[in-house]
Amino acid sequence: MPILGAFMVPHPPIILPEVGGGEEEKIALTTQSYQKVADMIAALKPETIIISSPHSIMYADYFHISPGKYASGNMGRFRASQVKFREEYDTELVDKISSLCEEADFPAGPDGERDPELDHGTMIPLYFIRQKYNDFKLVRIGLSGLPLPMHYEFGQIIQRAVNSLGKKVVFIGSGDLSHKMKEDGPYGFAAEGPVYDERIMQVCGSGEFDKLLDFDENFCEKAAECGHRSFTIMAGALDGVSVKATELSHEATFGVGYGICTFEPGMPDDSRHFLDKWRDEKVSTLASHRENEDLYVQLARFSLESYIKAGTRISRSDLKDDKWKALPAEIFSKKAGAFVSIHKDGALRGCIGTILPTRECVADEILQNAISAAVNDPRFSPIREDELPYLEMSVDVLDTPEPISGPEELDVKRYGVIVTSGRKRGLLLPNLDGVDTIDQQIEIACRKAGIYEDEEYTMERFEVVRHE
């Protein structure tokens, strides 16, 4: 049985009278919409409600599904401990989702439970639902730092689990919109805030879920959005099904966007397999880009693909095709450090390099580091063969680093930075998306090195030649 309905809802604690103390009346439209959502869910009579919440346990590279038979929580963090919940989990559905993820080698499951208590992103939807309907079990889903397409894919896996068990299920994508809607709001104002809210309400209000995948992650970060990944999982759970989408309300009274939309699934619709379409377009775009790819990058890709497909480590003696004759002579004569960066779906998938030369020439550095970036970056699982068509790559060849006396000698667009404290050393390349200030650049480099705020460190800067 397909998912009966889905709902995009916010989770502002102030909407509860026990927390708001009268302030909730300023967002009465959101309250009215929430009550309508609760009425719709009661009419559907689901056996299970799935809630994806930004405030459940979140990992950079893993989707956490809350384990166990029961979970409790209360709104004590918001001075309303009398608002409490004790929810029974649908262990059968949790087990099914987890087993499908394991079969697909997808990074999701019940491992890594740090805090079993219910979070407010889960409890606030339950607050309204419990006033109208009580005969259901819960599945609580956390988000991750993985790319948006993987959130959609997770939703697809959830859909398959629901269909295979034949359960009557409702999906709730819990999440606020931008937190940067007003100068006098708790998080201030950013120009991206109102733009994000207008755009997400148009996308969700029309059910055009393919456009959820087109939001730039740096734009989302600047808008300080909360629920985008949650909404994307929800969209994946409705993949391949016609949807009647309705916008109920949008408010930003307190400087944070609160949007509510409802989604009524209909018949199967092959035109709504959005992730397949998105990836087909991506492969086509990348294939076109590769025709004009820099030869340094082609060399890195050749090394990576040869290793992933056949376990073969390429050496200079294997560069026999005519195209390699066009490589500049200096790639075989110059010694320099080199970094190979790999991206998939707009997110980093691996990056490893050498600060100073470790091999006879730049070509050897690239051949080796391409493999290391693919399979040895400790932040990521090794790249699989089925991922190869979706990978974007770049190669940075480093000039010799030079010591600097302070941040005033840095420029995030021109110079990379190396920070050193004893045996700890961290590097950040220049001109990276989302790194806009020198302070950010230094902070990230220190974090990579494991250097704490109270530790002294020295800095070096370097320039690179970037090949894309």
Q: Are 213 and 274 contacting, i.e. CB atoms less than 8 angstroms apart? A: yes
List of residues 6+ apart from 350 with CB closer than 8 A: 341, 342, 373, 374, 375, 377, 379, 380, 383
Distance CA 210, CA 87 (A): 33
- Establish whether domains 5-277 and 291-467 are of one fold: no
pLDDT at 380: 86
**What angle (nearest 5°) sits at the alpha carbon of residue 260, between those of residues 258 and 262?**
165
pLDDT in tens, 202-220: 999 999 999 999 998 889 9
pLDDT at 2: 83
Distance CA 171, CA 159 (A): 10
Where is 234: in which H helix or E strand? helix 228-237
Mean pLDDT over the full length of the chain:
95
Question: Is the pLDDT score of 434 beyond 90?
Answer: no
Distance CA 56, CA 39 (A): 25
For residue 43, the one-letter residue type is A
Query: What residues pair up with 228 in beta bridges, in sequence order?
Result: none
Question: Is the pLDDT score of 1 beyond 80?
Answer: no
Distance CA 243, CA 220 (A): 25
- Among 75-79, 187-191, 277-281, the minimum mean pLDDT is found in 277-281
Looking up tokens 């929800």 gives 234
One-character DSSP codes across 393-458: EEEEEEPPPEEESSGGG--TTT-EEEEEETTEEEEE-SS-TT--SHHHHHHHHHHHHT--TTS--E
For residue 96, the one-letter residue type is K
pLDDT at 60: 87
The CATH T-level fold of domain 291-467 is Glycoprotein, Type 4 Pilin (3.30.700)
DSSP 145: S
User: For residue 433, what pLDDT band results from cuts at 50, 70 and 90?
Assistant: confident
Question: Is the pLDDT score of 310 beyond 90?
Answer: yes
What Rg, from alpha-carbon coordinates, does the chain have?
25
pTM: 0.85
One-character DSSP codes across 81-122: EEEEEEEEB-HHHHHHHHHHHHHTT-SEES---S--SPPHHH
pLDDT in tens, 117-152: 999 999 999 999 999 999 999 999 999 999 999 999
Residue ranges of alpha helices (H) inside 340-396 are 362-375
pLDDT at 288: 86
Q: For a pLDDT cut of 90, what percent of the chain falls above it? A: 91
Distance CA 334, CA 182 (A): 54
pLDDT at 39: 98
What are the Cα distances from residue 137, in Å, to 42, 68, 87? 13, 12, 7
Question: What does the domain layout of the chain look like in residue ranges?
Answer: 5-277, 291-467
What are the Cα distances from residue 259, in Å, to 157, 198, 345? 26, 10, 27
Q: Are 256 and 181 contacting, i.e. CB atoms less than 8 angstroms apart? A: yes
pLDDT in tens, 390-423: 999 999 999 999 999 999 999 999 999 999 999 9
Q: Are 209 and 202 contacting, i.e. CB atoms less than 8 angstroms apart? A: no
pLDDT at 118: 98
How many Cβ atoms from other residues are within 10 Å of residue 116's Cβ? 14
pLDDT at 52: 98
Positive or negative: CA dihedral 320, 325, 327, 329: positive
The closest alpha carbon to 94, from 167, 38, 175, 153, belongs to 167
pLDDT at 42: 98
DSSP 337: -
- CATH code of domain 5-277: 3.40.830.10
Question: Is the pLDDT score of 251 beyond 90?
Answer: yes
pLDDT in tens, 82-106: 999 999 999 999 999 999 999 998 9
DSSP 378: T
